[in-house]
Amino acid sequence: MPVTDPIADMLTRIRNAVRNKKDNVRIRSSKMVISIAESMQKEGYIGGFEVVQNARCSVQNDLLVQLKYSRTGEPVIRKIERVSKPGCRVYSGKKDLKPVLRGLGVWVLSTPKGVMSDRYAREANVGGEVLCKLE
């Protein structure tokens, strides 16, 4: 069944898996979803990911994401939310990128130089569409 917003689907699946204390979660794969997962891995919010074959549909691949938890069992991802939606896009210039929770959180942006976190966007001196916020 087609998904109208694959990014929101990805974030919802991760949010639900973290809530249920799962070790990993399967997400429908796309180029944007893979780029967001790479950004989340660079920032330390997920342990890793790999592209696996979907058992139901041979054409579609899935992304198997390993979730991360602290030593006490608390999830690393405490809050994950979609900022820019298909009906209402949110853009941020390079001067407007403020740190989330004084640097403890991350904005994930789609920039002309690719999908990256706000830290890398400030270093690259670019702005873009704010996809999601991680805390």
Identify the structural domains of the chain with CATH numbers, from first to last. 6-134 (3.30.1490.10)
pLDDT of residue 58: 79
Q: How confident is the model at residue 1 (pLDDT cuts 50, 70, 90)?
A: low
* Residue 2, pLDDT above cutoff 80: no
Q: What is the DSSP letter of 121?
A: H
Instruction: Give the tens place of pLDDT for each residue, 34-85.
Output: 999 999 999 999 999 999 998 888 788 999 999 999 999 999 999 999 999 9
pLDDT tens for 80-102 read 999 999 999 999 998 888 888 87
Taking the C-alpha atoms of residue 100 and residue 2, their distance in angstroms, rounded to an integer, is 33
Given a cut of 80, is residue 24 above it in pLDDT?
yes
> How long a stretch of residues is the chain?
135
| pTM of the predicted structure, to 2 decimals | 0.91
What residue type is 96 in one-letter code? D
Identify any residues that bridge with 67 across adjacent strands, giving them in sequence order: 46
